[in-house]
Amino acid sequence: MAVQIETIKKLKNGLDVLPDLYRYASLGFAAIPEDEIERLKWYGLLHRKQTPGFFMQRLRIPNGILSTRQMRAIVSVSRDFGRNTMDLTTRENIQLRWLRIEDVPEVFQRLQNVGLTSQQTGLDNYRNVMGCPLAGLHHEEIFNAAPIAQSVSLALLGREFSDLPRKFNITISGCSHDCAHSRANDIGMTPAAKEINGYRVLGFHVALGGALGGTTPQLGQDAGIFLTTEQALPFCRAVLSVFRDNGSREKRTEARLKWLIREWGMARFMAEVEKVFGQPFFSAGESLLAAHNGDHLGVHKQQDQGFITVGLLVPVGRTNAQQMAEIADLADAYGTGELRLTPDQNILIPNVHETCLDRLLAEPLLQVLQPHAPGALRGLVSCTGRDYCHFALSDTKELSLQVAEELASLIPAERRVDLKVSGCVHACGQHHVGEIGLQAQRLRLEDGSIVDAFDLFVGGNHQQLATLKARKIPVDQLAGRIAAELAILDGK
């Protein structure tokens, strides 16, 4: 596969497929050659075996911040062309499904009209840049890094980084709680301070080489430097340049940034990055990170007195056009026409005045997308699952909801569980960093029948990987086993 993808890229840059994309829209799906199916991923169009003839579209929503006008454009695409389906992702993003190539020109135009794109969101490109969902709002924020995350997400698009050895993830946050999961990314920036010539300067510490998929998951390693906020964008460009020019292209399972850092060591890698960066890096300063303390659901005070953000649970991120249209209406009625997406596949309505809170909480939609959900559901994250992904061994979204709801009956409602579920070894559900992590398996019973099961991982977070505790636990035994592991973690 590595050689095939690299050959495809050498023959024709993925960005060059755009004129042909419009030609295929006139000719229909049957006219698209196999290699061009791959190149369409450079514009966020991913063909899935489970839905032959249709595409999934992955958007680019920097820092997960979007307006209600943008949400309504997305809703119109889902409603008119995508069978009303929408998924919120762990990269503060939205994926649409069931799109026909014939409809893509209109889809692109609707998104472009509101300032949205899906360019370079698939295959060997850098993906949506994440940040704190409460950037610019939270009353305990160190500084607002959302403008930096947004600039990086868009400024590096184009041919310069359209041929990376493998996909590349970036998160940039000024939040002390690391809620954008810095160490699960290739580049993770978190708030720091350093005294420079007698002045205390705010900026970032950096972790490099995080990647959770495959058989060798790894959290990002400390790069040992301090960046000013102005240096964040050129630093990302320098890292991407070194990765593009030196990363392995022989074996796709060993082509992420972590493998280059393993081969070279951090010292050599950073020396090469510094050459491209063009000036010496500052040594590390004072980390301003604190322990992560919960989630973004419920009611949160903002910096501006009297205003709050209300976080809504979207179970396993699966939603539809009608729900998101209603969310947009509520954000206009009670907020300021803005929405925020979270790394836990949920959505926030910011800038709600406290005098409107009771009315908002009484809205019918908030009885479905609950701001005060049981603890077993609050930290639930799931990958796409077998219905749309051919790698997945089970319908992870449905099964994880089933397990979480059963678990809710076994533990106190206030006990939040960071439950992360993946359908395969690729770990799109981030099970290696879950307090409880589940990876789908298939189990053959004594009578010869095959049932859904999961490997159980325990004790992970975004500072340490979870430990494998048991293999192939049948779904009907999972909730009880998880409850027992939680009791051990809680010292009971």
Domain limits, the chain? 146-287, 298-366, 378-489
pLDDT in tens, 409-449: 999 999 999 999 999 999 999 999 999 999 999 999 999 99
What's the CATH class of domain 146-287? alpha beta
Residue 2 clears pLDDT 60, i.e. is over it:
no
Common-topology check for domains 146-287 and 378-489 = yes
Pick the CATH number of 298-366 from 3.30.70.100, 3.40.710.10, 3.30.70.3340, 3.40.50.720: 3.30.70.3340
* Banded pLDDT at 293 (limits 50, 70, 90): low
Average pLDDT, the chain: 96
Of 3.30.2020.10, 3.40.50.1370, 3.30.413.10, 3.40.50.150, the CATH number of 378-489 is 3.30.413.10
Packing angle, helices 266-277 and 257-264, rounded to 10: 110
- Among 239, 318, 225, 250, which residue's Cα sits nearest to residue 276? 239
Average pLDDT of span 370-381: 96
Nearest to 385 by CA among 95, 64, 77: 95
CA dihedral 290, 137, 70, 329 (to 10 degrees): 120
Mean pLDDT (whole number) for 107-133:
98
The mean-pLDDT minimum among 39-53, 85-99, 282-296, 432-446 falls in 282-296
Q: Could you list the active site residues? A: 58, 166-167, 423, 428-429
Q: In the sheet that 85-88 helps form, which strands lie side by side, from edge to edge?
A: 45-47, 55-58, 94-99, 85-88, 318-320
- Confidence bin at 140 (pLDDT 50/70/90): confident
Stretch 19-33: mean pLDDT, rounded?
A: 98
How far apart are alpha carbons 226 and 334 in whole angstroms?
40
DSSP3 helix / strand / coil % (the chain, rounded to 5): 40, 25, 35
- pLDDT band of 235, cuts 50, 70, 90: very high
Specify the pLDDT at position 492.
77
Helix (H, G, I), strand (E, B) or coil at 456: strand
What is the predicted pLDDT for the residue at 295? 83
318 pLDDT exceeds 60?
A: yes
pLDDT of residue 292: 65
Confidence at 1, pLDDT banded by 50, 70, 90: very low
- Integer Cα distance of 159 and 88 in angstroms: 28
